[in-house]
Structure 1
């Protein structure tokens, strides 16, 4: 979203535009994952879309130990002061608080469970986008399962997994109520039945808006996020990522 559109987000928008923005937010996640994983489709003869960084299970930093680059910056994101729908909310009105909301949204909303996706959408979306985002939860979860090679319905295969791990964050302060936040995400997935786990790196960006005493997610079009890179890869630093200090979470 361009800066003038981000400014316009403060103004009253037509309902149709709001709904389209909400749908774009959910579809952005689906598109990112389909680009990363190929959607589980067979080759249709077309050139594949550019994919985010792939990291093999035995090569987590895309380089040898000699090329390992420690993160230049670390950040310990604040915890939410309260919980809603079982998720952390009421983050401080700081850039770090906005980043903490965006990371919490990724952890909760990038899921293969429709219930979890809907819960995250209802908890973190700006009010005018929440219902439209929630209505896309079932399709979003199905597409995530499809991207991981997991059947889109029915029970999960044994040992199937779809684990989303935010590893880095960066932000652009716009004003006291608007912060553009980008999250660097490591996704570890397995289709189960003895398949080896696969790891992919994906980045996403959102506009955090201070609304009713908390940060909320306002969708922006995909394609504005920094390049993903894993911790240890020199590109993690060159892309401007701050490594997330998890404390007791890991």
Structure 2
């Protein structure tokens, strides 16, 4: 039954994604403020079709999101993570690898809505450009979403957080909200089969301001990794089903 539900989900998801991708072409000539509709409706629709595979999404700790633009630092286990945030943080800017902006249609749209590309081979210059683009986004009232590990990391695995996250913390002077999740347990990266259950995104209390680099990095990693491990344990016990 899981295979049938996964096949049906994939059909629904990719048809929906294709439709939203076509919608992006219609927004390219529109003013910036009107260009976010395909992104927002893509996230909304994806959340809706989760039920086909027996999945649902639950948001916890929404009270920890400030009423002003902030920096969202999330674990990254699944393709779902790059979609779901736009259902609760419309118009947020996401930090992404620059290669995505070179893709036809999808890349054009990402440039249109001014996502924040980073050239992972450019070292310090890339961090400076990321900070500059992030300040511009904040100036437009947008929150920033970043995955500090820099790539998808499987359930139960860890990867050292990238130093660019501290540069944003130090230079932007906005609240930093860590996010734990268990998306990779139900929608694992690189695997066909989806598992039924509840994908949980938990927004943790903001990191204290003005920490030194080592203290900030340790605090961020420990809080995100610890909370994520608890969500995976919860999923294993069937409490997220």
Q: TM-score, normalised by structure 2?
A: 0.31
Question: Which one has a larger percent strand, Structure 1 or Structure 2?
Answer: 1
**Structure number with higher helix proportion:** 2
